[in-house]
Structure 1
Amino acid sequence: MWNEPSVERLSRIPKFYETEDIEVKEKLIYLHFFIGGCDWYVAEFDGDDTFFGYAILNQDYQNAEWGYFSFEELKTLRVGGSEVDCELERFWQPRKAKDVPEIWRKA
């Protein structure tokens, strides 16, 4: 994985269910992973291996959805020799889901 997030950066992400009372569009998105036409946006983390967030696979916005995905699996994905990348902190600061156009493209 390119630019794997640091332990410190991961520690800032709320644990599972800590944001369940926050309306989806108001949830903060802490990380953005991507490769090719796939994007994963992280809102919660179990502190071990599983994220909760929004996934768009192969630019399929119609079937994109909120759900759980594995950090370890993201680390092993390869497309044409390229690895999954995590957007650097200087480019990706936590922002509300409503401020991420890719998440609301389906709507």
Structure 2
Amino acid sequence: MWNTPTKVQLDEIPKLYATDFIPIKYKKIFLHFFIGGCDWYVAEYDGDDRFFGFAILNDDFEMAEWGYFSFKDLKDIKVKGIVEIDCDLHWQIKRASEIERIVQCRCGI
């Protein structure tokens, strides 16, 4: 993984289920991972391996969804053994409703 998030960044993310009371459009997205046409947006973290957030795979906005994904699995993804997932260095924490790619999806907001 390129630009693996720091412990400080990971510690800022609310624990799993801590934001259940917040409507999806107001959930804050703390990290953004990407590769090609795939994006993972992180809203919650269990402090070990599991994230909750929004995933768009292969630019398929119709099938994109909110759910759980593994930090380890993201770190292990390699395309042709060379290209790895990247964590957006310039990401600014923002609400899900402020992220154009999430808003474009059928179930994003």
TM-score, L = length of structure 2: 0.94
Structure 1 unmatched runs, 5+: none
How many Å apart are 1:79 and its aligned residue?
1.7
SS in 1 for 2:105: coil
TM-score, L = length of structure 1: 0.96
Match of 1:100 in 2: 99
Match of 1:53 in 2: 53
Structure 2 unmatched runs, 5+: none
Q: Tell me how far apart the structure 2 counterparts of residues 49 and 106 of structure 1 sit (CA, whole Å).
A: 26
Q: Tell me how far apart the structure 2 counterparts of residues 101 and 36 of structure 1 sit (CA, whole Å).
A: 17
Q: Pairwise CA RMSD of aligned residues?
A: 0.7
Match of 1:14 in 2: 14
SS in 1 for 2:42: strand
Q: Tell me how far apart the structure 1 counterparts of residues 96 and 103 of structure 2 sit (CA, whole Å).
A: 8
Q: Aligned pairs, how many? A: 105
- Runs of 4+ in structure 1 over 3 Å off: none
Once the two structures are aligned, what percentage of the paired residues are identical? 56
Matches within 5 A, 1:22-101: 22-80=22-80, 81-88=82-89, 91-101=90-100
- Contact 1:36–1:79 (CA under 8 A) maintained in structure 2: no
